[in-house]
Structure 1
C-alpha cells in the first residue's frame, strides 16, 4: 500500500520499517499505539481493539477512535476470529497490551519476531489472573511489569525485561494502574528497537520459582467483615475504580458498594454494638396464645436475641382475660403489660389478635393459620418459637398446630424458616399428663444467666399473672426450673426447647438465590490467559 493509500491515523511506510500489528485496549494500549506511531522503524499495519459494545463491559475500557481510523483500526469481539486477517497483514511482530483474551497458537505462529506481551507482575512470580489486584489484596508493597515473548503457556514465555515500582499504603487501584502503565511504556521504549531487529533479550523463566494468582470473579469482591481491618482496606483499595468496587450487603440483601476505606487503629469509638458471628443474631418470631406466655417460656432467650441485634417479633393470639376464673385477678391493661415486658426484653414489636380466650379451638383453623402466615410473610423470621404441643392448656395446643401448619416444610413460608422450636410454659407444660405424647423432653438449651434480670423484670410487668407459694408461676419456681434446665445442659440458668425442625443450607447459595444481584461490571481484564497480562 502506498503512503497516499493509508487512512488517517495510519503510519506511513518507511524504508526498512518493520510491519507491526497491535492487539489490545485500555490506557496502556493507547499509549503503546502512540509510541508505535511515533517510531521511525515501525509501520503500523493494523490495530485490533475491542468493539465498543464488548469493550464497555471491560474495566477501564478506552476507545481508539481519536488515534486511528479504518482500515488500520479494526474493532473485534474475539481475536481468534481474526487470525487470517492478521496473517494477511504479514506482521514482523505483534504487540498485545491491555487485552485479556487467550491468544491462539495460530496467531502466535504468525510473526517471525514473535508476539510480545506485558504481565503486571515480575515473572516468574505471580503468573496468571488479576496480578495487580492480587498484589494489593495480598498487601504487597512492591510489584512490577514484565515484557515477554508470549507462548502457549500461562505467562511462561522468555522474558525481555522487567521494571518494578512501589505500592504505597495510600494507593488505590487507579494509582497502581498508572504506575503499571508507566512501567509498560518504559519497557516498550527501552526494548522496542531490539524487538524490531531481533536483538532483544530472551531470558527463560525458572519454572521452580513460578507462582500463580487465581481467577477472580464478582463474588470475590464481597467484603468478609470477619477479616482483619487491614485486609478489608486492602480489598477496597484493590477493587476501587476502574474495577467493579468491593461490595457488602445490607440486612435487606441490597448490595452496598465501598469505594474507599481506611483503618484507624488509634481512633476511639464505642465497641461494636453486635458481634457479627453471634448465633443469636437472626430474625425471630415467637407465637403465643396469651400475654405473659412469651416471658414465662422464652423471655430470657428473646432478650438474648435482642441483645445480639435480632429483629424479634412476638405474636399474641388472644387477650387472655375473658375466661379467667372468678377468683383470679383480672387485668384490664394486659396489652400494656405485654408492651412493657417487650420493652424490658428488647423485643422489636408485639402483634395482637383478638381471638377468644380459652376457646381458640372454636375459631376456624384456617383463620389462625393465616394470622401466623401473615406474620411470617411480613417479618421473614429464620427462627420460630411457640408452645409445646402437649401442654395442658388447649389454647397452647391449638396455637402449636396452627404454627406447625403455617410452617409446613414444602410451603413457601415454611421453606424460609431454619429453626422451629417449642418451649415449656410453667403452669401448663408441667401440668400436662407425663405420658408419651405430652411429655416435654428438651433437646436444646439456651444459657439465660446473662439476661436473667431482664426476664424477672419482664415477668414483673404482669403483676396479676404471677402467683406466690408453690404455684408454677411463682418467681421461685421459675428460677428453680431454670436451674434444673441449667443442670441438664451445664449452665447455671437455662431455658429449654424441643426442636421440631432444623434446616441446614449453605448460606452463600441461599443468599445468591434470594438477594439482589451483586454489581455486574464484567471483569474481562481479569481472566486467565496467555495474553497481555490481566491487570
Structure 2
C-alpha cells in the first residue's frame, strides 16, 4: 500500500523562493515521499538582472505548478486557493505578508543566513564577511510578522575560513540549508518540529546594502579592505575603486601585505550623479512623480539616496485605515524600483502641514540632514498650488541654510515640479516654475514608469496631469527644452562651488 493510503493524504506544500539554495530545496521537496508540492512561486525572469544569483526553475518544476512572480504580496488569493498545509521559503528576500503567513496551518518555514537572534535583516552573509566573522550559520525558523523574529526550529553553524570568498560562503550556506531541510522536513510536515522562541531584546540587525557600500575605502586597515573584497566577490557585484582618471576599477580578489605602507589615494568621482542625495517630499508618490528618474540615475551611480516623506499619506479621516498602510507600502515598492536605499516616514497630518508648528518641521528636516549629510537636496517648488508642498519647501530651505553647520554640506538645492500641483498654480510671478537645470532620464524612464505603477490609487487616467500620458508628455517637453528625448526639469535655488584641494598643490 502507498504512504498516502496508510497515512492519509500527503501534506500540501507551497514553495516560495529562488536562487541556488531555492532550487536545491525544491529538489528535496520533489523527492520526499510525503511532500505534495502543489506550487512553486519563483522570481520572474525579468528580475534576473536585479537579483544576484538568480536561477530559473523551468527545467525543475512542471509548468502547471510553476508560478513566476515579481512580488509575492500580489498572490495572496492564489495561495489561499491552493490550501497548503505548509509553506517553505528559501532564497527569497521579500517580506512575506501576514495574509500569507496566516494561510497554512503548519506554518511558513524560512531560512535565515545567520545564527538568530543575531544579525536579522538584510545581506547577513555579506556583512558577516565584511565584519570579519570566523563563523556564522543558517537558522531554520517559523516565520512571523517580524523580520526574522519567529520561533527557531534548528541552527547549523559553519566556519568562514580566511581565504573564503563570497562564492565559498554561499556554497556552505546552501549546503547547510539543504541539510536542515532534509533533517527536519518530516517533523515540519507532521507538525512536530521543535519551536524555540527567540529571547526578547536579544536581536541585532544588519542593514540593507547599497552600491555605495561596495566602494573601497583605502584609509581602512588592510584586513578590512580584504574582507570587503572577499564579501563582494562574484556572484555579488564586486568591490570597486577609481583610477586617477575617475574610471571605475573592479577588484575580485586581494590579500593583505602588512609590509607594504602606502599613503591613501585621494578620492576622485567624475560621475556628476554620484552624490549624497536627500529628497524631502510632503506625500508618498511626490518623489516618483517629480524626481523619480533623477533619483534612479543617482542610485545607478552608487549614490546613497534617502527619501523623507513628511506626511502620513492620507487625510486625517483615512489616517488609520488600511489604505494609509498600503500607500506606505507603495512608497517602498516604488523606492525598490528606483534603487532608493532608504525611505523615512513621518506622520504629520496630510493636507494640514501648515497647522504643524513650523519649528517641528524644520527640526525633522535638520535631523535628516544631520544623519545623511547630503551634498544635494531635492524638494517641492515653493510656488506649488498644494499648501503642503509650499510648507515643505520653506522647511527644507530653512534647515539647509549654508551658514549653519548642517547646511554647509549641501552644495546644490534643487526644486522639482509635481504634476497636478505645480502646473495648477497661478502662472504669474513667483508661482511660475521656470527650470534652470535639466537631467536626461531617457535611460531610466521605464523604471520611473514601473515606480509610478506602484501607486495605482494615485495615478489617474484621461487628461489628468497625473496620467501616464501627461507625465511622459511633460518629460518630452523638458527634453525638448534641453536637447534630450526625456528629461526632468529643476529650479536651482542654491548652488555652492568649492575649489577642490589636491595633495601637494598650494
TM-score by length of 1: 0.49
Deviations 1:138-176 (A, max 9, x none): 000000000000000010000000000000000000000
Q: What secondary structure, in the 3-state scheme, does the structure 2 residue paired with 1:132 have? A: helix
Aligned ranges 1:105-116 → 2 under 5 Å: 105-116=98-109
CA positional deviation for 1:252: 2.4
| Counterpart in the other structure of 1:246 | 239
- Structure 1 runs of 4+ aligned residues shifted over 4 Å read 503-509
Are 1:156 and 2:149 counterparts? yes
| Counterpart in the other structure of 1:120 | 113
In 1, Cα distance between the equivalents of 2:142 and 2:100? 13
Query: More deviation in 161-170 or 249-258?
Result: 249-258
Q: What secondary structure, in the 3-state scheme, does the structure 1 residue paired with 2:153 have? A: strand
Q: What secondary structure, in the 3-state scheme, does the structure 2 residue paired with 1:71 have? A: helix
CA positional deviation for 1:265: 2.0
Residue 97 (structure 1) aligned to one of 90, 93, 117 = 90
Are 1:234 and 2:227 counterparts? yes
Taking a change above 3 Å as real, the CA distance of residues 107 and 276 of structure 1, as seen in their structure-2 partners, is same
| Counterpart in the other structure of 2:53 | 60
In 2, Cα distance between the equivalents of 1:252 and 1:505? 25
| Counterpart in the other structure of 1:427 | none
Q: What secondary structure, in the 3-state scheme, does the structure 2 residue paired with 1:146 have? A: strand
| Counterpart in the other structure of 1:276 | 265
In 2, Cα distance between the equivalents of 1:236 and 1:109? 41
CA positional deviation for 1:275: 5.0
Aligned ranges 1:27-426 → 2 under 5 Å: 27-266=20-259, 271-272=261-262, 276=265
CA positional deviation for 1:70: 1.4
CA positional deviation for 1:62: 0.6
Q: RMSD of the alignment, in Å? A: 3.1
In 1, Cα distance between the equivalents of 2:231 and 2:95? 24
Taking a change above 3 Å as real, the CA distance of residues 256 and 282 of structure 1, as seen in their structure-2 partners, is closer
- In the alignment, structure 1 segments of 5+ residues that lack a partner are 1-10, 284-502, 515-521, 523-535
Which has the bigger relative contact order, CA under 8 A and spacing at least 6? 1
Taking a change above 3 Å as real, the CA distance of residues 507 and 201 of structure 1, as seen in their structure-2 partners, is farther
CA positional deviation for 1:282: 12
| Counterpart in the other structure of 1:375 | none
Taking a change above 3 Å as real, the CA distance of residues 264 and 209 of structure 1, as seen in their structure-2 partners, is same
CA positional deviation for 1:48: 0.4
Deviations 1:380-402 (A, max 9, x none): xxxxxxxxxxxxxxxxxxxxxxx
Q: What secondary structure, in the 3-state scheme, does the structure 2 residue paired with 1:118 have? A: strand
- Higher-Rg structure is 1
CA positional deviation for 1:219: 0.7
CA positional deviation for 1:504: 7.0
Query: CA contact under 8 A between 2:246 and 2:269: conserved in structure 1?
Result: no
Q: What secondary structure, in the 3-state scheme, does the structure 1 residue paired with 2:92 have? A: coil
Taking a change above 3 Å as real, the CA distance of residues 275 and 231 of structure 1, as seen in their structure-2 partners, is closer
In 2, Cα distance between the equivalents of 1:282 and 1:48? 41
**Count, aligned residues:** 278
Q: What secondary structure, in the 3-state scheme, does the structure 2 residue paired with 1:103 have? A: coil
Query: CA contact under 8 A between 2:218 and 2:264: conserved in structure 1?
Result: no
- In the alignment, structure 2 segments of 5+ residues that lack a partner are 271-406, 414-437, 440-446, 448-506
CA positional deviation for 1:277: 6.0
In 2, Cα distance between the equivalents of 1:170 and 1:230? 12
Q: What secondary structure, in the 3-state scheme, does the structure 2 residue paired with 1:200 have? A: coil
CA positional deviation for 1:505: 5.3
Deviations 1:418-441 (A, max 9, x none): xxxxxxxxxxxxxxxxxxxxxxxx
Query: CA contact under 8 A between 1:124 and 1:207: conserved in structure 2?
Result: no
Q: What secondary structure, in the 3-state scheme, does the structure 2 residue paired with 1:56 have? A: helix
Q: What secondary structure, in the 3-state scheme, does the structure 2 residue paired with 1:209 have? A: coil
In 1, Cα distance between the equivalents of 2:91 and 2:264? 43
